[in-house]
Amino acid sequence: MPDFLIYAIIVALAIAIVAGPLGAFVVWQRLSYFGDTLAHGALLGVAVGVFAKINITFAVVACCLLLAALLFILQKKTGLGDDAMLGLLSHSALAAGLVSISLMGTSVDLFAFLFGDLLTTTLGDLLLITGVCLCVLTLIIVFWRKLLLCVIDANLAKVEGIPVALMRALLLFAMALVVAFAMRVVGVLLITALLVIPATASRRLSQSPEAMAIGAAIIGCLATGFGLIASYIYNTPAGPSIALSATGLFALTLLIKQK
Amino acid sequence: MSQMTSSAAELPLIEIKEAYLDFAGNRVLNNINLTLNPNEIVTVIGPNGAGKSSLVKLAVGLQTPSQGSVKRKTKLRIGYMPQKLIIDQQLPLNTQRFLSLCGNKAALENAVARLDIHCLLKTPIQKLSGGEMQRVLLARALMGKPELLVLDEPAQGVDVIGQAELYHLIGQLRKELGCGVLMVSHDLHIVMAQTDQVLCLNKHICCHGAPESVSKHPEYLQLFGKKAAADIAIYTHNHDHQHDMHGDVIGDSHHNCQHDHT
């Protein structure tokens, strides 16, 4: 097997593993629109990177983190939880990204950003991405109990002395990081799929939050494996193949009675 | 508010002074003064929309007053029981795991035994009935060994026998833990046997004091009507014996109460 393929597989699995528990929080906290907004913002990051001639990965990460901070503040100030407002932001971010990239001319391979470009992964990318995934996973594990208490009821957690706003910021920060790096695996348009579909499938099989998070990571890895194989055999784009495999696994869980 | 002599030496758990709360130009709370001491039960009563829940939120720090001050004892351990707890269906969580997030195994077993909720441990938290949820929430509040229990309408969704039992239990817990209790209720007659101070709220404090004096206060009568006051006379002697969770009379009554309770 050529090196680039091995790198691709490792990177995709690393993202799938961290997307499991993170995706569980996205489902519990109804953050999928947040994920979309961040992902679409990543495209804007690409445009900024190209325009300012800085490292694109750096620009994307910075853009996602900035957007996460903005969303955090907006949500605190205005109680921005509603569907319409996030829909507006999310799609505006996508449109802004698309327009600014096309304004750059033809120097950017838009398709690669929209649907993922796993096979160009270098050893440097591999080290960076697995490192980031490891950090995010560690954060989630360390703060698991507090994060979970915030999910159960923010007010209750606050009265009991849990720093709710900080936990919220931590979750959005972790999401921004993962989204920024998952862009390479599944592309801007399908990042939320990688977060939401394995977690939703896992929900049907689990009786505890921990089981759901671990199950989501396993289902994500399976979907990644099947998707990459399918992509290799049928020469389909890797991102959509992975997302579709995850959907297939979810459909399989429908055969099982929900616990 | 008047101080209880037994706790005069200790610092109050909560001290609210001249607090006002406004939401978008609407005054929700008007000039609230409240002191809650250790080992004291304060009950807030009032009609719908009187700002009872807002007052509770102000006390526990979920709201900051628009004016005035709310002081809590430093590092006050609060056991909070909200009016409702709605947990997302997508979260697979049974009662046991829910409780185990809040303390160690010994604390959990103790609280479970105290509230007689052993049979609920494996039930998904979303499937608990209103009364079951209240007991689980109370168990959860206990596990943190609170210095202050805050209960927002603890008897919601509980039948009358269960309510009397619940309030009796709260009274017992206060003695065991020596904690202060702040609770919201709209049935003065059921809580009064367990209450030291009643605060009658209708955006401002209409009247406050011992339950018997509040029940005769003209503003209270105006808010709740004479019928409510008459009910109190009926109910006050009714707390000499206790029921357990199943409605049976418990034998350890502190008075010799001979009348038939049914």
CB contact under 8 A, B78 and A160: yes
- Dihedral over Cα of A242, A244, A245, A247: its sign: positive
Asked if this assembly's ipTM is beyond 0.90, the reply is: no
Best of B87, B88, B90, B104 to mutate (most A CBs within 10 Å, chain A): B90
Partners of B102 on chain A (C-beta within 8 Å) are 149, 160
CB contact under 8 A, A153 and B82: yes
State both tokens at A105: 């001319």
What is the predicted pLDDT for the residue at B197? 86
What's the pLDDT tens digit per position in B9-30?
A: 578 899 999 989 988 888 888 8
What's the pLDDT tens digit per position in B102-124?
A: 888 899 999 999 888 999 999 99
- Banded model confidence at residue A105, pLDDT cuts 50, 70, 90: confident
B16 torsion bin: left (phi>0), alpha (psi -120 to 50), beta (else): beta
CB contact under 8 A, A209 and B144: no
* Lowest mean pLDDT, pick from A8-17, B57-66, B206-215: B206-215
Compute the average pLDDT of residues A123-144. 95
Burial degree of B231 (CB within 10 A; 0-12, 13-18, 19+): middle
Partners of A211 on chain B (C-beta within 8 Å) are 92
CB pairs under 8 A between A and B: 57
Edge-first strand order for the sheet with B26-36 is B26-36, B14-23, B67-72
Q: What are phi and psi of A35, to 5 degrees?
A: -60, -45
Cβ(A75)–Cβ(A231) below 8 Å: no
Q: Which residues contact A46 (CB under 8 A, 6 or more apart)?
A: A56, A59, A60, A97, A101, A108, A113
CB contact under 8 A, A160 and B144: yes
Nearest to B94 among A151, A158, A207 (CB): A207
What is the predicted pLDDT for the residue at B98? 94
Best of B91, B128, B134, B145 to mutate (most A CBs within 10 Å, chain A): B91
User: Which chain A residue's Cα is nearest to B144?
Assistant: A160
Best of A25, A144, A159 to mutate (most B CBs within 10 Å, chain B): A159
Structural element, H or E, at residue B182: strand B180-184
Predicted TM-score of the model (pTM): 0.84
- Banded model confidence at residue A252, pLDDT cuts 50, 70, 90: very high
What is the predicted pLDDT for the residue at B239? 42
Residues of A with CB under 8 A from a CB of B: 27-30, 145, 148-149, 151-153, 155-156, 158-160, 200, 203, 206-209, 211-212, 259
Partners of B150 on chain A (C-beta within 8 Å) are 159
Q: How far is A27 from chain B (nearest CA, A)?
A: 7
Q: How far is B18 from chain A (nearest CA, A)?
A: 22
